[in-house]
Amino acid sequence: MPPRPRPSLAAALAAALVATLLVLLPGSTTAQAAPVLLSQGRPATASSTEGAGTPASAAVDGDNGTRWSSQFADPQWIQVDLGAAARLSQVVLRWETAHARAYRIELSTDGSNWTTAHSTTAGTGGVQTLDITGTARHVRVYGTERATAWGYSLWEFQVYGTTGTGPALPGGGDLGPNVIVFDPSTPGIQARLNQVFQQQESAQFGSGRYQFLFKPGTYNGLNAQIGFYTSISGLGLSPDDTTINGDVTVDAGWFNGNATQNFWRSAENLALNPVNGTDRWAVSQAAPFRRMHVKGGLNLAPNGYGWASGGYIADSKIDGQVGNYSQQQWYTRDSSIGGWSNGVWNQVFSGTQGAPAQGFPNPPYTTLDTTPVSREKPFLYLDGNEYKVFVPAKRVDARGTSWGNGTAPQGSSIPLSQFYVVRPGASAETINQAVTQGLHLLFTPGVYHVDRTIQVNRPGTVVLGLGLATIVPDNGVTAMKVGDVDGVRLAGFLIDAGPVNSSSLLEIGPAGTTTDHAADPTTVQDVFIRVGGAGPGRATVGMVVNNHDTIVDHTWIWRADHGDGVGWETNRSDYGFRVNGDDVLATGLFVEHFNKYDVQWNGERGRTIFFQNEKAYDAPHQAAIQNGSIKGYAAYQVADSVAVHEGWGLGSYCYYNVDPTIRQEHGFQAPVKPGVRFHDLLVVSLGGNGQYEHVINGTGAPTSGTSTVPSTIVSFP
């Protein structure tokens, strides 16, 4: 496969955004708009072209592998029509070898009369970033002297500025009533925690959303029980800045000791001194435990050791032992633990100090010494009295936490004044205006209906949700799309399909992109997708990843098997997770119950560390899942065209409760090639409700009987 072009230059974004958090700090100031890329995809013309393969449009298509080139003569020009007058701030020229020694940047409001915004007779080629001022609709590069014997050639011609005459949206501001902030002197903390828990304990498909924020300090005698759609976080730069002498607890009393439906909640950035020495976090999918310091042990099972079906820990330090007990599968990344007990089917570790040694299938441990690429989730914190969002740096071959050991965390901070604080009732039009204006997005707890796609097209944009903020697309739109840009961070929100079918719910990058984003990839963390359950919902595919180098770190993509609006055709969704981009890494991938393939991987050099899957429970009969001559659709399919792919610690379960006679050919399907490798695979029939005939392709023993014993493969091929 030919190498991909080098990453595009992330243009500098100037932002004069000043505001303060109105709830806690006095005063506010309106933020000013920041420059954005205006030229990409706009009509472009030129004085000449070298040939049909180098048109003017190729210089404004966002692809660093295509270019405009002129005939071999002076002078020559290329111009772009921005579509409307804009206040301009910057032009970025990415020259090919054939560059201009002398040229001008010219501006026009009508395409006929031009003024000069920049000129030089000493152009050096390469990437040139030019600060300009002026208002124009048309921008032209006018070359008067070539530096080589060839013509003029530009990989990219980018114009930045701001549009619109209306008032700028403010940054920062009130986080709303469902963000509940405590400091150590706040009275009645336990009563407030209890009040929210009583409301949220069993509200699996309710509309309540809550975020608890604890300012740095020490809190004594608390037991924060965490129910549905509730997040608890410390506001320090380090977990040890905020200590609770007490517990942060998830148990399953509401469901008779069964923790398999303890979804949609989180704990982050706190230190705990558990009252009895061990904290209980009995959860299943979509319940991350991030950046936590437990000064004792951690019990992952409910009281009574009832069922629990898998979860996720990252960037955490557990001084004592982690008691896995009844958890079927679990993934722990870039952490430090004092020990690990027990294991049911597969416990997966990468970059975790103190993890048990590799032993799959007996004991059922899959252990990688490091995580190949990781970058922790952005988080809100207090710097003095100012709210900021910390954006952690990328790590390669990470091991252990990103914090502690007396060193400052690596990354950057963004003041809250540079975020548009999205509150319930905000429209997609306003949200998109905020991104275009240069603001990041902070979704406060709530449910947001959008009648058009949220477009995240600016490099480095952070989209952060509090309290499992939930986005519902109306009228069959895609809820959110990310552009072909570097460094977008999506974190901490839920997308819930609407009743009109959406072709997709979340798209990372446009189809067919060739841009390399390895230096600054997009990350998708604690972003959950749901089709049905809270009501009727339909989507052809849940999440599509087109951008190369994307990191998907903990997601649960779920076609509902219970709740409202559930049925084989009622909440139809054929595909859960589709990867078209190259060099995509998934760490902590949970995808369940889709009508056809749960995962389709079409991109090269993909990697997955940990996968948990259940096939759709509600298939009415064998014919409903027939895939040509194959019995059923694989849970995880790697396309026949793929040459290199690797996965560690992957499991698929079946529980065909409508027709227990259904046979599933295999859980995994992949081409048999030297570069396609899997480690530690399992399939299991839950109580004999349907059976697998193989693990991967035609390899692996069938499941049988009602004993719920996995069939395993240590390596493939």
Which residues, in sequence order, are bridge partners of residue 146?
A: 100
Band of the pLDDT at 164, cuts 50, 70, 90?
low
Q: How far is CA 204 from CA 151, 198, 271, 472, 528, in A?
A: 64, 12, 27, 17, 15
Q: How far apart are CA 603 and CA 398, in angstroms?
A: 24
Q: How far apart are CA 491 and CA 504, in angstroms?
A: 18
Average pLDDT score over the chain = 93
pLDDT for 8 equals 36
What's the average model confidence in pLDDT over 471-493? 96
Q: State the Rg of the chain over Cα.
A: 27
Beta strand ranges found along 384-496 (DSSP E): 386-392, 394-398, 411-415, 419-422, 440-443, 447-450, 454-456, 462-473, 480-482, 489-496
**Three-state secondary-structure class, residue 353:** strand
The residue to which tokens 């952690």 are assigned: 392
Is the predicted pLDDT of residue 29 greater than 50, yes or no? no
The percentage of the chain sitting over the pLDDT mark of 70, rounded to a whole number, equals: 95
* Amino acid, res. 493: F
Is the predicted pLDDT of residue 87 greater than 90, yes or no? no
The residue to which tokens 């930045």 are assigned: 160
Count other Cβ atoms within 10 Å, centred on residue 408. Answer: 8
Q: How far apart are CA 425 and CA 329, in angstroms?
A: 39
User: Is the Cβ–Cβ distance between 599 and 635 less than 8 Å?
Assistant: yes
Count other Cβ atoms within 10 Å, centred on residue 602. Answer: 18
pLDDT for 438 equals 85
Q: What is the pLDDT of residues 611-644, one digit of tens each?
A: 999 999 999 999 999 999 999 999 999 999 999 9
Q: How far apart are CA 589 and CA 121, in angstroms?
A: 54
Q: How far is CA 128 from CA 105, 118, 137, 432, 602, in A?
A: 12, 12, 21, 29, 36
Count other Cβ atoms within 10 Å, centred on residue 618. Answer: 22
Is the predicted pLDDT of residue 89 greater than 50, yes or no? yes
The residue to which tokens 């446009």 are assigned: 510
Band of the pLDDT at 31, cuts 50, 70, 90?
very low
Is the predicted pLDDT of residue 35 greater than 90, yes or no? no
Q: How far apart are CA 406 and CA 639, in angstroms?
A: 46
The residue to which tokens 């002078």 are assigned: 75
Burial class (CB in 10 A: 0-12, 13-18, 19+), 629: exposed
Which pTM does this prediction carry?
0.81
Residues near 407 by beta carbon (within 8 Å), at least 6 away in sequence: none
What's the average model confidence in pLDDT over 436-443? 92
Q: How far apart are CA 716 and CA 662, in angstroms?
A: 26
Taking phi over 0 as left and psi of -120 to 50 as alpha, with beta for the rest, 628 belongs to left
What's the average model confidence in pLDDT over 285-311? 96
Catalytic annotation, residues: 614
What's the average model confidence in pLDDT over 401-417? 91
Is the predicted pLDDT of residue 2 greater than 60, yes or no? no
> How many CA atoms lie less than 13 Å away from 261 in the CB half-sphere?
16
Burial class (CB in 10 A: 0-12, 13-18, 19+), 357: exposed
Cα angle at 232 between 226 and 237, to 5 degrees?
Answer: 155
What's the average model confidence in pLDDT over 557-579? 97
Band of the pLDDT at 6, cuts 50, 70, 90?
very low
Phi, psi of 285 (to 5 degrees): -70, 155
Band of the pLDDT at 436, cuts 50, 70, 90?
confident
User: Is the Cβ–Cβ distance between 279 and 254 less than 8 Å?
Assistant: no
pLDDT for 21 equals 30
DSSP state of 429: H
pLDDT for 33 equals 52
Instruction: Identify the CA nearest to 105 among candidates 92, 94, 122.
Output: 92
User: Is the Cβ–Cβ distance between 44 and 60 less than 8 Å?
Assistant: yes
Q: How far is CA 42 from CA 138, 157, 484, in A?
A: 10, 11, 16
Q: What is the pLDDT of residues 238-283, one digit of tens each?
A: 999 999 999 999 999 999 999 999 999 999 999 999 999 999 999 9
Is the predicted pLDDT of residue 306 greater than 70, yes or no? yes
User: Is the Cβ–Cβ distance between 317 and 296 less than 8 Å?
Assistant: no
Residues near 534 by beta carbon (within 8 Å), at least 6 away in sequence: 205, 496, 560, 563, 564, 565
pLDDT for 166 equals 57
Tokens, residue 432: 């998109």
Is the predicted pLDDT of residue 13 greater than 80, yes or no? no
Instruction: Identify the CA nearest to 281 among candidates 295, 265, 298, 263.
Output: 298
Q: What is the pLDDT of residues 494-548, one digit of tens each?
A: 999 999 999 999 999 999 999 999 999 999 999 999 999 999 999 999 999 999 9
Residues near 319 by beta carbon (within 8 Å), at least 6 away in sequence: 293, 294, 295, 296, 338
What's the average model confidence in pLDDT over 13-31? 32
Q: How far apart are CA 16 and CA 522, in angstroms?
A: 25
pLDDT for 162 equals 82
Is the predicted pLDDT of residue 368 greater than 70, yes or no? yes
pLDDT for 182 equals 98
The residue to which tokens 């020495």 are assigned: 277
Q: How far apart are CA 587 and CA 185, in angstroms?
A: 39
DSSP state of 529: E
Is the predicted pLDDT of residue 30 greater than 50, yes or no? no
pLDDT for 24 equals 33
Band of the pLDDT at 17, cuts 50, 70, 90?
very low
